[in-house]
Chain A
């Protein structure tokens, strides 16, 4: 995990206050969306807990001592949810899955991986998929399962329960 390239907004104090002016807020939230997805992709963060947002450097810039309040984090995540890049894991909306690729995109990526690696019509484990050197490297089990469920609905794969782990069979 390399260092994060922070955008200019990250050191701009108003960035950490949700702007009341709608036009300004639109721009601000766009910037947040880009920043958060970039951050999650490079740092492989799949789950965000709103209550512990302080612990993530993305929400807490100690050099200008500004942090995004939990309410504001919810707002940002709400924006991500609209584009399919985030999904609450519980009813209180405190834990969220972050998808830097949407689930549809993930599904296509996984299927393409299977095609490229000649895994069609064979069974492979989640571990094999997650240890790939490309985009799929280190993918969260939960996210992978959800992506495979999309493939199941497209009738391109089937999830199997194996001894000591889960596996998947891709159909051609």
Chain B
């Protein structure tokens, strides 16, 4: 009897059988639980009378049997013997110490037809253990497929989470930008109250965050206006570094630098290219987009003189005798594509000549055309 506890049935559980007028026996001893109703579910056997609810977890049941009772008028099968496992129940129950390792369910008249079979089947199905642990396939192709599926699901979830964060960040970043704009405007108004030094310092903090107000597509309806504004922004970002690298910068590097400066709300390569094309329509633009004969696109400062580049290339050739594009690129610190363009343009001007061999393309000073040779 000590396996019983005070529990009401879970309303979601399906009732398999319901019957009344049943008395519980602990071993062979009659208990005070007299003439109650029983309810059988997939995992529990309940006994109730009035407000009192008792339940027995079916997992304790080893086996059940029906017994024949002799009466005055012959024999009747009206009792079911339920053999139980030792108790490990911590929940409060009606009896703390059992008198026997089995209980009896005593039906007043006879066991209803079919109940015994249903009871036995329910115990045999062990629904409770199925619920507790979902079976895991670990071997075979099925197992591998399942593993992969689980992993995909997990990474899917984490990616979605990550982007959720990014979206939130973008929203916050917009606020940050407008806030910093506000502050800088206020600083401008109160120029006198705050020292110049502080203003400059604050502005440098803002710049450290990147572009303070990135041009985004969503703020324009006309794509032409978008590109023109974007073009101005690119010029602003790139102008200083363009002078540093010597006046020419491949578009790939421009792309990296612009997006680095924007930090968020990145530009697509296509938008960048379109914006750069706008530079050539504006005569006064300090930077021009240049397309080399090989199709390489680069931004070139209008102050950058081609003859200067040519001279630099020729000097490098004179120093080292012969150069590949790779070597020139490390020598004067420009990307390999541009170094190659420099060498090709030197060749076009008759200053260099090529040597194509299995070692690759190298360029030499043009001795063919040098008169003194």
Residues of A within 8 A of B (CB): 8-9, 12-14, 16-17, 19-21, 23-24, 27-28, 31, 65-66
- Identify 6 residue pairs between A and B in the complex whose beta-carbon atoms are under 8 Å apart, listed by A's number: A14-B367, A16-B357, A19-B347, A24-B368, A28-B368, A31-B368
Interface centre among A9, A12, A20 (most CB of B within 10 A): A12
**Distance of A28 Cα from B366 Cα, bound (Å):** 10
- In the complex, chain B residues whose CB is within 8 Å of the CB of A27: 368-369
Residue in B348, B355, B373 whose beta carbon sits within 8 Å of that of A14 in the complex: B355
The complex places the Cα of A20 from the Cα of B41 at a distance, in Å, of 92
Q: Is the CB of B354 within 8 A of A23?
A: no
- Least Cβ–Cβ distance between B144 and chain A, in angstroms: 54
Chain A residues with Cβ below 8 Å from B367 are 8-9, 12, 14
**A13: which of B347, B357, B366 is its contact (CB, 8 Å)?**
B357
Most chain-A Cβ atoms within 10 A of its Cβ — which of B355, B356, B362, B368? B368
Complex Cα gap A103–B354 (Å): 36
- Which residues of chain B have a CB within 8 Å of any CB of chain A? 322, 347-348, 350, 353-357, 362, 364, 366-369, 373
Residue on B nearest A69 in the bound complex, by CB? B356
Inter-subunit contact B350/A16 (CB<8 Å): no
Q: Taking A21-B366, A24-B366 as given, write out 19 further A-B residue pairs in contact, using a Cβ cutoff of 8 Å, ordered by the A residue number.
A: A8-B367, A8-B373, A13-B364, A14-B353, A14-B354, A17-B355, A17-B357, A19-B347, A20-B354, A21-B348, A23-B369, A24-B347, A24-B350, A24-B353, A24-B368, A24-B369, A27-B369, A31-B368, A66-B357
Measured in the bound complex, the distance between the Cα atoms of B350 and A10 in whole Å is 20
Return chain B residues, CB-CB under 8 Å to A23.
350, 369
Residue on B with the closest CB to A72? B356
Please name the residue on chain B nearest to A29 by beta carbon: B368
CB-based contact A21/B347 at 8 Å: yes
Q: Please, how many angstroms separate the alpha-carbon atoms of A9 and B366 in the complex? A: 11
For B348, B354, B373, the residue with the greatest tally of chain A CB atoms inside 10 Å of its CB is B354
For residue A60, give the distance in angstroms from its CB to the closest CB of chain B: 12
CB-based A-B contact count at 8 angstroms: 51
CA separation between A7 and B364, bound complex, in Å?
Answer: 17
Closest to A19 in B: B353
Q: How far is the CA of A77 from the CA of B367 in the complex (A)?
A: 23
Cβ-defined contact, A19 with B364, below 8 A: no
| Docked complex Cα distance between A8 and B347 (Å) | 20
Residue of A whose beta carbon sits closest to that of B346: A21
Question: In the complex, which residue of chain A has the Cβ closest to the Cβ of B373?
Answer: A8
- Closest Cβ of chain A to B344, distance in Å, is 9
Contact B368 A19 (CB under 8 A): yes
Looking at A21, A28, A31, which has the most chain B CB atoms within 10 Å of its CB?
A: A21
Cα separation A14 to B364 with both chains bound (whole Å) = 7
B-chain residues with CB within 8 Å of residue A9 when the two chains form the complex: 367-368
In the complex, are the beta carbons of B355 and A13 less than 8 A apart? yes
CB-CB < 8 A to B353: which residues of A?
14, 17, 19, 21, 24, 28
User: Does A21 lie within 8 Å of B355, measured CB to CB?
Assistant: no
Q: How far is the CA of A27 from the CA of B357 in the complex (A)?
A: 20
Residues of B within 8 A of A24 (CB): 347, 350, 353, 366, 368-369
Please, which residues of chain A bring their CB within 8 A of the CB of B369?
A: 23-24, 27
Contacts of B355 in A (CB 8 A): 13-14, 16-17, 66
Residues in A neighbouring B357, C-beta threshold 8 A: 13, 16-17, 65-66
Whole-angstrom CA separation of A23 from B348 in the bound complex: 9
A12, B354: Cα distance in complex, Å? 11
Cβ–Cβ contact B356 & A21, under 8 A: no
Q: Which residues of A contact B354 (CB under 8 A)?
A: 14, 17, 19-20
Question: What is the CA–CA distance of A24 and B354 in the complex, to the nearest angstrom?
Answer: 10
* CA gap between A35 and B283 in the complex, in Å: 52
User: Is the CB–CB distance between B350 and A20 below 8 Å?
Assistant: no
Q: A17: nearest residue on chain B (CB-CB)?
A: B356
Whole-angstrom distance between the Cβ of A49 and the nearest chain B Cβ: 23
> A66 vs B366: C-alpha distance in the bound complex, in angstroms?
18
Cα–Cα, bound, A21→B364 (Å): 13
A24 to B346, CA, bound (A): 12
